[in-house]
Structure 1
């Protein structure tokens, strides 16, 4: 059985936010606004999501 997957959508622009938050959004794999990415859940991924949670919409699938 595979681990839980997370569907993340970038719903707010990182423009005007701290540089570390912009780098975190890029590290998650986002390139454009409203882009959706599916990744396997992990503690490191959860930490990155927690840092920029105000920019993302996250769903477990």
Structure 2
């Protein structure tokens, strides 16, 4: 059985945001607007996405 994945895209800049939000973006592997990353769909990753939901969007899930 294959691991489930989630693809996220950065849609906003972390400029003038709290340092922990910037660190969360970097933790997800995002650092530029329009950059996409495909990550394992785990509760930890979902929590990170939820924390910065105003800076990213979920493009797809598998």
- If the length of structure 2 is used for normalisation, what is the TM-score? 0.90
Asked if residue 48 in structure 1 is aligned to residue 30 in structure 2, the reply is no
CA distance in 1, matches of 2:47, 2:53: 10
CA distance in 1, matches of 2:8, 2:24: 13
Q: Which has the higher helix share?
A: 1
Q: Aligned ranges for residues 15-54 of structure 1 at < 5 Å?
A: 15-54=15-54
How many correspondences in the alignment? Answer: 61
Alpha-carbon RMSD across the aligned residues, in angstroms, is: 0.9
For structure 1, list consecutive stretches of 5 or more residues without a partner in the other structure: none
For structure 2, list consecutive stretches of 5 or more residues without a partner in the other structure: none
The alignment partner of 2:48 has SS state of: helix
